[in-house]
């Protein structure tokens, strides 16, 4: 047990931890109640879990309910069969069994539990279990699960951040809201990334900072020194088709330049690409807009990734 001000625990949810790692900590922590013992706290947790059916309720991240307070090991760890408190562990020279170790997999999904600097990691090209996967929403259960990136399709799947925005309120609390939230639209809640840029410091760590701090502290852009545009072998290939499904342009990292040099409607084609090849100017309103801009010949053109 500890004082509230010293409690740095947020969650044991893998989904939340991954979101914090990828997008930053914009979650708000609320203290519901204080207890004198850990057992009392767990009993209250059991009560809430049953009340809200957290294992089935899509409003919660919990996969299972807390059902008992009899086997509580929170605040303790086991080393060589010995149960010690986390406080004693931090003030000792003992090392937990997973210290400096990682759990990885190879291309055949065979698992390896190895030291972080073990040469086998590179020799066998081992990767993390979430490598090349995306967390998506199961609309039937309201829960998220990981699928392979090549199977990800916005028309069939919704990512964990689908139509969400990380925002900050006037008190500095950060959390996710729907982009349609009236508080986000009217500016009451502001994007945590507004007027900020993503960059690297001298230790190669990534930060979101405002533009003045970016210049003042000598940060560099995250893509500085990288091969850009068509010279990049990993650049995304985007193909532009006309309304008769004929290939008109093949862009390899130079989509914007191709549109600019050939007077193509870059914004509309970019939207088509993001929407998996939806034809541009295909609605009645779109037709009117195309005629107004002199883009009639581009009606029902589309762009998709190779």
Is the predicted pLDDT of residue 131 greater than 70, yes or no?
Answer: yes
**What are φ and ψ of residue 136, in 5° steps?**
-125, 160
Its pTM surpasses 0.95: no
* 79: β partners: 82
Q: How many C-beta atoms lie closer than 10 Å to residue 96's C-beta?
A: 11
Give residue-wise pLDDT tens across range 21-65.
Answer: 666 666 677 888 888 877 778 778 888 877 877 766 667 767 666
Give residue-wise pLDDT tens across range 263-274.
Answer: 999 989 998 988
Give residue-wise pLDDT tens across range 271-285.
Answer: 898 888 889 998 888
- How far is residue 266's CA from residue 285's CA, in Å, rounded to a whole number? 18
Position 247 scores a pLDDT of 92
DSSP of 221-288, one letter per residue? ETTTTS--GGG-TTPPEEEEE-TTS-EEEEEES-HHHHHHHTT--HHHHHHHHHTTSPPTT-SHHHHH
Cα–Cα nearest to 126, from 109, 111, 106: 106
The larger pLDDT score, comparing residue 65 to residue 203, is at: 203
**Dihedral over alpha carbons 68, 69, 75, 79 (to 10 degrees):** -70
- How far is residue 164's CA from residue 172's CA, in Å, rounded to a whole number? 18
What's the alpha-carbon Rg for the chain, to the nearest Å? 25
Q: Which long-range contacts link 218-223 to residues 24+ away (Cβ below 8 Å)?
A: 221/197, 222/198
Average pLDDT over residues 155-159: 67
**Contact partners, residue 106, CB within 8 Å, separation at least 6:** 112, 124, 125, 126
Average pLDDT over residues 118-133: 79
Give residue-wise pLDDT tens across range 221-273.
Answer: 776 655 555 555 566 788 999 998 899 999 887 888 899 999 999 989 998 98
Helix, strand, coil shares of the chain as percentages rounded to 5?
25, 25, 50
Q: Are 292 and 285 in contact (CB under 8 A)?
A: no
Helix runs in 161-245, H state only: 182-185, 211-216
- How far is residue 283's CA from residue 155's CA, in Å, rounded to a whole number? 19
3-state DSSP assignment of residue 166: strand
């Amino acid at each position: 047990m500890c004082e509230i001000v010293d409690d740095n625990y947020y969650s044991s949810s893998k989904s939340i931890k991954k979101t914090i790692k990828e997008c930053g900590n914009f979650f708000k922590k609320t203290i519901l109640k204080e207890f004198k013992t850990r057992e009392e706290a767990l009993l209250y947790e059991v009560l809430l879990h049953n009340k809200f059916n957290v294992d089935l309720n899509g409003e919660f991240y919990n996969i299972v309910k807390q059902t008992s307070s009899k086997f509580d090991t929170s605040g303790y760890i086991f080393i060589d069969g010995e149960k010690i408190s986390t406080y004693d562990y931090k003030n000792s020279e003992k090392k937990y069994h997973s210290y400096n170790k990682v759990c990885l997999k190879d291309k055949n999904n065979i698992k390896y539990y190895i030291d972080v600097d073990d040469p086998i990691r590179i020799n066998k090209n081992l990767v993390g279990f979430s490598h090349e996967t995306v967390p998506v929403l199961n609309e039937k259960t309201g829960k998220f699960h990981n699928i392979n990136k090549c199977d990800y399709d916005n028309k069939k799947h919704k990512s964990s951040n689908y139509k969400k925005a990380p925002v900050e309120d006037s008190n500095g609390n950060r959390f996710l809201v729907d982009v349609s939230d009236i508080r986000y639209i009217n500016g009451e809640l502001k994007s945590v990334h507004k007027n900020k840029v993503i960059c690297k410091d001298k230790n190669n760590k990534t930060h979101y900072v405002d533009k003045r701090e970016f210049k003042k502290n000598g940060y560099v852009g995250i893509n500085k020194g990288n091969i850009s545009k068509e010279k990049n072998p990993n650049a995304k290939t985007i193909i532009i088709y006309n309304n008769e499904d004929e290939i008109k342009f093949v862009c390899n990292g130079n989509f914007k330049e191709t549109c600019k040099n050939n007077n193509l409607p870059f914004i509309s084609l970019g939207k088509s690409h993001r929407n998996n090849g939806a034809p541009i100017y295909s609605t009645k309103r779109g037709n009117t807009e195309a005629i107004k801009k002199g883009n009639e010949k581009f009606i029902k053109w589309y762009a998709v990734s190779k």
